[in-house]
Amino acid sequence: MTNTTVDTPLAALLTNKRRVSALKALGVLTVADALTYYPFRVTDPVPVRALAEVRFGEKMACAVAVRALRVTPMNARRGYRLEVLVDDVPTAAARAVQPRTAALVFFSHRKSYVDWMASRLRAGLQLVISGDPSTFNDRLQFTHPDILTVAPAEPPAAEPQLAFGEPAVQPQPRLRYDVDSVAQGLARATRPRPVYHANSRISSEHIHETIDQVLRLLAGEDPFAASPVIADSAQFGEQFALGEAARARLAEQIPDVLPEPVRTAKHLMHRAQAFCAIHEPQSVADFKRAIETMRYEEAFVCQCALLMARGRAATSNAYACADVQLRDGYIERLPFALTNGQREVIDAIGTDMGRAHPMQRLLQGEVGSGKTVVAVAAMLQAVGSGHQAVLVAPTQVLAEQHFHSISASVGGRVPVHLLTGGMKLAARRKVLAVAASGEPCIVVATHAAFSKSFQAPNLALAVIDEQHRFGVEQREALRAKSERDPHLLVMTATPIPRTAAMTWFGDLDISWLTELPGGRKPIRTFVIPEADAHMMADMFWHIRRRIDEGERAYIICPRIEPDEAGDEPAGEPDTPELLDDAALGESAEPRPPLHAVVEIAERLQSLPQFRGVRLCTLTGRDDDAAKARIMADFESGATPVMVATTVVEVGVDVPQASCITIFDADRYGLSQLHQLRGRVGRGGTDSWAFLVSRAEPGTVAQERLEVIAGSLDGAEIASRDLELRGAGDVLGDAQSGGKSSLKLLRVVQDARMIADARASAQELLAHDPDLAGHVQLAGAVLDFTRGNEQYLTSN
């Protein structure tokens, strides 16, 4: 027990390996993971009542005495039943009501469980029970109540029994008791209880039990001893009635991360005290204050990490790129005029790149706002100054599109090379050799740019397109490719509210492109109830008319193939992270299967609206050569209708595309719907987006679709998405596929807290830029940086 630390694996502490496995599935592997597996709510305090004061439908707590118990097999079905007869004579007398009897009933198909429960009890033993009262055969009953055994004043004279008058077959072990007195038991049974996200393998109660045990182990106490609780939790450590030595050990094992002046000024709890108040709250107020403490800690650590990263970048060396002649010539030859926003961002980037320390800028732009033009201008400034530039795209399709469009736009004035994982070895080696030579050029690459074989000693600028597909670790990997730190421009069309951008990209300067280039027309968006056959038919006839006019149409499905066994994605790389029932605000009733590419393609071929029209399909399972062929046929009009998964979400640019239909639209995040909608209307034609939905009127899912149908403002849509779904789903955590250090911070609701934490962090770092005087905070910042290799991961 004395060697337990926050880094101790739970597998080394728990003897129940099934529980260890169940917790591992929840991402809880160590003591630290357990402490930061926060409950999502606490229950209301449970009232104490006598059995005669019972109110059906309301949970209650009561002190009772065991009169008898028996274990019987259940005849109607397999399993066993433990029935415990109790009365409340002392409680009734204290509350001046008539005493009453009740039955405590426990069922299980495992006799071992029923025998174990029975072995804890005996006639005459006092219990504190907590549960929901009901009646059965006109008798008051509590089914599977929580029970706490109360230690008797004197040891029992006889061994416990398993049934009426039936002595135990084998000698029973000495009983362990949960509490020392009825008062302690009632205090424990009536206080708020934390409720955790659980699953079929482990209950919230068992999660709570495990966390209670690790807290006791950290404090150096026996986790199986009685846990007396007192009502006043103002003194740190009293949640567990810890002695002075135990409180000191808990504070030593869970040291504060926040600097003492910051914690005191904000009236926050000590970190160890906060964990106790979260997992063993004495009141709802204690729980809320503890959650606010940990939430502020997350904000503070996050902002320290971002500000320190920004500070390090400001002191490193980069190639100064001051020659803008090549860039300006490119802008003059463009067949259209830049928007004011594009001009301002290009000028800001030009100023940053002219300095000898690396630029770090995030460019956020609406779908189709012209971010690529800005990126090409920046790369030409690097090449014109005698250096190299690399543009990294998340998919081969997007990389090839960038390569062809950039090659055409620079007109042979600058060497442009393509580097992808799917290239033939000889062509790949040739591009790698050019990059390694330091020859001024532009390299358009996929993830191949992060491989060890790619070296560009003269690299002055790295552009990362669709930042949400890459992590901070990959951004950092590009810094090692050059002899100096390259200037960094990261771009995203995923709408990010300003408060979220401050949280996730606080180490970058942020620019927004909000104007659409001239000639772009607003996309008209309609919600189509799938059950309305007339509207569905009209939609398909409209698409046919647009195809007859020489335009193209996308049909998007969340699945590749039908899966009748379940409703969730089958794990394809391009399958969206669909929203669950809680996010949709719907009941747990079975939903119809999600639509699939294969199914919808067959259905469309049979419709009169598409008679004589060739369809193509595109999914993440297609190899690179097939994707290129399919895209070429779609662009040429040989197959003017494409049925696809969300693989087309990013970067697919077909100017003739004017219609997009998204099946099961009610199951997508708003930001992803906005991204998909941006695939049409890129050629200046009228364009339409149809959101086919099976959402019920009045549900959150329907409300979300009304948001996307009523707005083309990406920032507004992102804010509403965050409000309706929560930051964890939209900006990381659940969808990142990796561990995240942010578990409580909410980027919309906590905007003021984030700003306050940033100001406090700036003040601290101004006096201690390396956190040399704050060892625990420095360690937390390092953990945060490692844990959040993807600051933004959004569909």
Q: Say how far residue 252 (Cα) sits from the centre of its chain.
A: 31
CA angle centred on 307, ends 481 and 288, rounded to 5°: 130
Question: Over the stretch 580-608, which tens digit does the pLDDT of each residue have?
Answer: 444 444 444 556 788 999 999 999 999 99
Write down the pLDDT at residue 571: 36
- What single-letter amino acid sits at 21? S
Q: Are 390 and 461 in contact (CB under 8 A)?
A: yes
Question: Over the stretch 171-204, which tens digit does the pLDDT of each residue have?
Answer: 444 567 888 889 888 888 888 889 998 887 888 8
- Cα-based torsion angle of the residue sequence 490, 455, 310, 382 in order, rounded to the nearest 10 degrees: -60
Return the residue matching tokens 């000898």: 356
Q: How does residue 294 score in pLDDT terms, banded at 50, 70 and 90?
A: very high
Going by C-alpha positions, the residue among 297, 266, 301 that lies closest to residue 765 is 301
* Separation of alpha carbons 342 and 334, rounded Å: 13
User: Cα dist. 650→64, 393, 401 in Å?
Assistant: 64, 10, 11
Regarding beta strands 487-492 and 360-365, do their DSSP bridges make them parallel or antiparallel, or are they unpaired? Answer: parallel
**Mean pLDDT (whole number) for 706-727:** 73
209: β partners: none
Write down the pLDDT at residue 748: 65
Q: How does residue 793 score in pLDDT terms, banded at 50, 70 and 90?
A: very low
Write down the pLDDT at residue 518: 59
Residues with Cβ within 8 Å of 178's Cβ and at least 6 positions away in sequence, in order, are 147, 148, 149, 150, 185, 188, 226, 227
Write down the pLDDT at residue 592: 76
* Separation of alpha carbons 300 and 293, rounded Å: 11
Q: Which tokens hold the place of 466? A: 């669709």
Neighbours of 138 (CB within 10 A): 5
Q: How does residue 369 score in pLDDT terms, banded at 50, 70 and 90?
A: confident
**Mean pLDDT (whole number) for 26-38:** 92
Question: Over the stretch 425-439, which tens digit does the pLDDT of each residue have?
Answer: 999 999 999 999 999
388: β partners: 459
Looking at mean pLDDT, say which of 101-105, 229-233, 680-684 comes out highest: 101-105
Looking at mean pLDDT, say which of 217-221, 230-234, 535-539 comes out highest: 535-539
Count Cβ atoms within 10 A of the Cβ of residue 321 and give its class: 0-12 exposed, 13-18 middle, 19 or more buried: buried
Going by C-alpha positions, the residue among 308, 302, 307, 300 that lies closest to residue 760 is 300
* Separation of alpha carbons 547 and 540, rounded Å: 11
What is the DSSP code string of 698-724?
TSHHHHHHHHHHH---HHHHHHHHHHH
Going by C-alpha positions, the residue among 642, 670, 621 that lies closest to residue 556 is 642
Give the range among 155-169, 713-727, 749-763, 776-790 with minimum mean pLDDT. 155-169
**Quick one: which H or E segment has residue 616?**
strand 615-618
Write down the pLDDT at residue 418: 94
Task: Pick 442 or 447 by higher pLDDT.
Answer: 442
Question: Over the stretch 111-154, which tens digit does the pLDDT of each residue have?
Answer: 888 888 888 899 999 999 999 999 998 899 999 998 889 988 76
**Mean pLDDT (whole number) for 738-760:** 76
Residues with Cβ within 8 Å of 171's Cβ and at least 6 positions away in sequence, in order, are 159
Q: What spatial distance separates the first Cα and last Cα of the chain, rounded to whole Å?
A: 44
Write down the pLDDT at residue 242: 56
**Residue 61 predicted with pLDDT over 60:** yes
CA angle centred on 16, ends 11 and 19, rounded to 5°: 80
Task: Pick 767 or 745 by higher pLDDT.
Answer: 767
127: β partners: 64, 149
**Residue 320 predicted with pLDDT over 50:** yes
* Separation of alpha carbons 148 and 162, rounded Å: 18
**Residue 481 predicted with pLDDT over 50:** yes
Give the range among 262-266, 465-469, 503-507 with minimum mean pLDDT. 465-469
Write down the pLDDT at residue 202: 87
Q: Is 277 helix (H, G, I), strand (E, B) or coil?
A: helix
Q: Rounded mean pLDDT of the chain? A: 82
pTM: 0.62
* Separation of alpha carbons 396 and 729, rounded Å: 27
Q: Which tokens hold the place of 402? A: 């960038």
Question: Over the stretch 667-679, which tens digit does the pLDDT of each residue have?
Answer: 887 878 888 888 8
Task: Pick 323 or 170 by higher pLDDT.
Answer: 323
Domains and CATH numbers, the chain: 10-43+195-282 (no CATH), 51-190 (2.40.50.140), 325-513 (3.40.50.300), 523-711 (3.40.50.300)
Percent of the chain with pLDDT over 90: 43
Neighbours of 203 (CB within 10 A): 13
Alpha helices in 163-231 (DSSP H): 182-190, 204-218
Q: How does residue 207 score in pLDDT terms, banded at 50, 70 and 90?
A: very high
Q: Are 416 and 441 in contact (CB under 8 A)?
A: yes
Q: What is the largest CA-CA distance in the chain?
A: 101
**Residue 67 predicted with pLDDT over 80:** yes
* Separation of alpha carbons 673 and 794, rounded Å: 12
Write down the pLDDT at residue 586: 47
Beta strands in 292-448 (DSSP E): 360-365, 388-392, 416-419, 442-445
What is the DSSP code string of 553-584?
EEEE-SBSS--TT-SS----TT------HHHH
Write down the pLDDT at residue 737: 30
**Mean pLDDT (whole number) for 9-26:** 91
Question: Over the stretch 484-531, which tens digit does the pLDDT of each residue have?
Answer: 889 989 887 766 666 566 666 666 788 888 776 655 678 899 999 999
* Separation of alpha carbons 168 and 158, rounded Å: 11
Q: Are 506 and 307 in contact (CB under 8 A)?
A: yes
Q: Which tokens hold the place of 545? A: 């008319």
**Residue 44 predicted with pLDDT over 70:** yes
Write down the pLDDT at residue 237: 39
Q: Which tokens hold the place of 339? A: 């928007």
* Separation of alpha carbons 246 and 276, rounded Å: 13
Q: Are 63 and 90 in contact (CB under 8 A)?
A: yes
Residues 691-710 as b/e (b if ≥16 CB within 10 A, e otherwise) read bbbbbeeeebbbebbebbbe
Q: Are 10 and 189 in contact (CB under 8 A)?
A: no
Write down the pLDDT at residue 455: 92
- Cα-based torsion angle of the residue sequence 197, 586, 595, 736 in order, rounded to the nearest 10 degrees: -30
Q: Say how far residue 87 (Cα) sits from the centre of its chain.
A: 48
**Residue 766 predicted with pLDDT over 50:** yes
Question: Over the stretch 541-559, which tens digit does the pLDDT of each residue have?
Answer: 999 999 999 999 999 998 8
Write down the pLDDT at residue 239: 43
Residues with Cβ within 8 Å of 472's Cβ and at least 6 positions away in sequence, in order, are 785, 788, 789, 790, 791
Write down the pLDDT at residue 457: 93
